[in-house]
Amino acid sequence: MPESSEHEFELLKQEHVRLLRTINHDIKSPLHAIQSLTQMFAQNPDSFSESELETMAVEINRSVGGIGEILESMLAWMDYQRSRYSLAKQSESLQDEVELALAELKPRAETKGITLDAELDPVLIDCMETGLRRCMKILLSNAIKFSPDNSTVKVRSRTDSSGNVRLTVQDQGHGLSEKARNQLFTLEERIISEGTRGEKGAGLGLLMARDIMERSGGQVGFENVEQGACFYLELKMGEEK
């Protein structure tokens, strides 16, 4: 095996070890909550009022949902790591790829009464195969997670004279603290925040988006806005085949 390949393989192994430790830590908390609540009920099933049982059910449901989101993030991350070297860079329709991501996330947005408002340029972009769609699903999922009920998530694109295409996703949530901004794209120092309905996640999505953008010759980042958080993807325009 060439020296460069050995080095990359070793880095990948280290990344997987950190990931497994991270997931183990993140899952323990909701599992402990479920175990504690069910144990309390098993020991004294007749001692709880209807209101207390309802509160317990809500907490158990929230914890199970959190575990599901963490596992979903982990599987998406592992699937991407498995296929990342076989995905070719190609020209894709910005509108088509973003609209597919919007359609997939629309049901989740509707559960919170959130409107997904998109205005997109009809341009081609250079990106890894399905890369734009993956990244948009990550940004949209985060925006929905941190948006209050009955708010709007805005998706906009703009193209400059140099052929750079910037795609932004802005929510109406509480925004990002300075500490969170400095730790957005690292596995070692993740900040795991709950969504407006207690949603959880493994904090892996932005790491995946960063890797996809770097391999596509683009970048992912955030813009300073007065309200909420605004993340962007920036790529080069593609060419007609």
Q: What whole-number distance in Å separates Cα of residue 102 and Cα of residue 136? A: 8
Place of tokens 């694109």: 157
**Domains present along the chain, CATH in parentheses:** 3-83 (1.10.287.130), 89-236 (3.30.565.10)
What's the full length of the chain, in residues? 241
For the segment 66-83, the average pLDDT, to the nearest whole number, is 72
Higher pLDDT, 225 or 235: 235
Q: What whole-number distance in Å separates Cα of residue 48 and Cα of residue 57? A: 12
Model confidence at 174, pLDDT cuts 50, 70, 90, reads confident
Q: Is the pLDDT of residue 3 over 70?
A: no
Q: What is the reported pLDDT for 70?
A: 73
For the chain, first and last CA: distance in Å?
36
Q: What is the reported pLDDT for 2?
A: 52
Q: What is the reported pLDDT for 67?
A: 79
Least confident of 5-9, 45-49, 173-177, 227-231: 5-9
Least confident of 85-99, 192-206, 214-228: 192-206
Amino acid at 114: I
Number of separate helices (H) and strands (E) present in the chain: 6, 7
Helices within 44-145 (DSSP H only): 50-83, 94-110, 131-145
Contact 170/157 with Cβ under 8 angstroms?
A: no
Higher pLDDT, 195 or 211: 211
Closest by Cα among 62, 66, 81, 234 to 163: 234
As a whole number, the mean pLDDT across the chain is: 82
Model confidence at 1, pLDDT cuts 50, 70, 90, reads very low
Cite the beta strand spans of 120-195 per DSSP E: 124-128, 152-159, 164-170
Amino acid at 94: L
Q: Is the pLDDT of residue 71 over 70?
A: yes
DSSP state of 163: S
Q: Which residues contact 197 (CB under 8 A, 6 or more apart)?
A: 112
Judge if pTM exceeds 0.85.
no
Higher pLDDT, 55 or 190: 55
Q: Is the pLDDT of residue 134 over 80?
A: yes
Pairing label, strands 152-159, 89-93? unpaired
What percentage of the chain reaches a pLDDT higher than 90? Answer: 34
Q: What whole-number distance in Å separates Cα of residue 147 and Cα of residue 199? A: 11
Q: What whole-number distance in Å separates Cα of residue 121 and Cα of residue 130? A: 18
